[in-house]
Amino acid sequence: MPVEPPPSKWTFPDPARAADGEVVGLGGDLEPGTLLAAYRAGIFPMPLGRRRLAWWSPEPRGILPLDGLHFARRLRRSDRRFEIRVDTAFAQVVEACADPRRPGAWIDPAIRAAYVRLHRLGWAHSVEAWSADGELAGGLYGVAIGGLFAGESMFHRATDASKVALLHLVELLSAGEGGAEAAARAGRLLDVQWCTEHLASLGAVEVSRERYGEMLEEALRLPLPAAFRGGA
């Protein structure tokens, strides 16, 4: 099971009472306790510009309903081309997501190191798609707390590899619940931060900050999915 780190020395604002705008704080640190406190409050870190650490709570918030994937049937054919693994190459997945050649790259060395530390404590996880020749073809990573999976980033080096990883993430989050519809009804929450055009094409939707807070509170009361209980 995940190891609870020392608590953060910082206090996060209640996003529901934050002023208009998505940035609810600046500065602080990226210690494991700080990151967990942020996610439990509905907040996540992302640099603002090149140097400033900012804490975000989008309004509206992007989520991916577990029973709302648009590509599940089409991907089954692609699925057979990959072997799916969990947490066997976490640092490699983060490094691939941080590739500065990618459009909109934002994951800097401090962010990378912070999530590797969180992974070692059993809170951050990767879902990986490996090709038949043993190459890491795509994947995603995020933070799992109770029934919340906060997706951070995904990448692919082969067609459909990241989508197959996402498909399997949904299955992992739904395992033991009787399927994706039952998992969604149970309150499990897949957070994607912003509902981009690409994510919307996969089934992501927008909810208000207030509604997200309600869903988060419910999700945090649920047990961690079995796939993420083993730690790093």
User: Could you tell me the domains of the chain?
Assistant: 62-228 (3.40.630)
Which residue, 52, 54, 62, 63, is CA-closest to 24? 54
Block means of pLDDT (10 residues each) for the chain, 232 residues, are: 96 83 92 98 91 92 92 73 96 96 85 97 98 96 98 95 94 87 91 94 94 97 92 46
* pLDDT value at residue 41: 97
* pLDDT value at residue 20: 67
Angle between the 90-97 and 109-120 helix axes, to the nearest 10 degrees? 160
* pLDDT value at residue 232: 45
CB atoms within 10 A of CB 50: 7
Residue 190, judged by CB atoms within 10 A of its CB (0-12, 13-18, 19+), counts as buried
Q: What is the pTM of this model?
A: 0.94
Compute the 3-state secondary structure of the chain and give helix, strand, coil in percent, each to the nearest 5: 35, 25, 40
The helix/strand/coil state of 79 is helix
* pLDDT value at residue 72: 62
* pLDDT value at residue 113: 97
- How does strand 61-63 pair with strand 124-130? unpaired
Sorted by sequence, the CB contacts under 8 Å of residue 100 that are 6+ apart come out as: none
* pLDDT value at residue 119: 98
